[in-house]
Amino acid sequence: MDAEKKPNTDRVVNGGSTLGWDLNSWGYHSDKGFLYFGNGNQSIQYSYEFNEEDVVGCGINFKDRVVFFTLNGHMQGVAFRFIKDTILLYPAVGLSHSGTVINANFGDQTFLFNIVDYKKVRTKSTLIRYGKC
């Protein structure tokens, strides 16, 4: 992608809004393990609450058009389904305390979740679903 057309993802946005409490955002919240979407009034129990010792991962399966989360390397299941492949997606992390430090891994390190096995299983299940095995 041309540098002039590349979106700027190296910025901090302080919009005063919580992830998933905005029309165009999805959020997996640590306090109760709920997923939030839309206006914040829409939520579902998804997983367990997590804290600063846990490793949270987020993955996107573009073939099936789903977003999933992992917790300490374990798949938590499909979190969100998106229909349009034209939706622009940006990673975001919400922090509630000033000075909080996180480690983010965008693929330059090995993921705790075994993404290679996930891709193998997804490929095999897709082939079986369409009668190619």
Q: What is the pLDDT along the chain (133 residues), one digit of tens a residue?
A: 444 444 444 445 555 678 888 777 888 988 888 898 877 677 888 998 898 889 999 998 888 888 999 999 999 999 988 767 777 888 888 888 888 888 899 889 999 999 888 888 776 554 444 344 4
Q: Where are the domains of the chain?
A: 26-129
Cα R_g (the chain), whole angstroms: 16
CA gap 13, 41 in Å, rounded: 22
* Superfamily holding 26-129: SPRY domain (2.60.120.920)
- Length of the chain equals 133
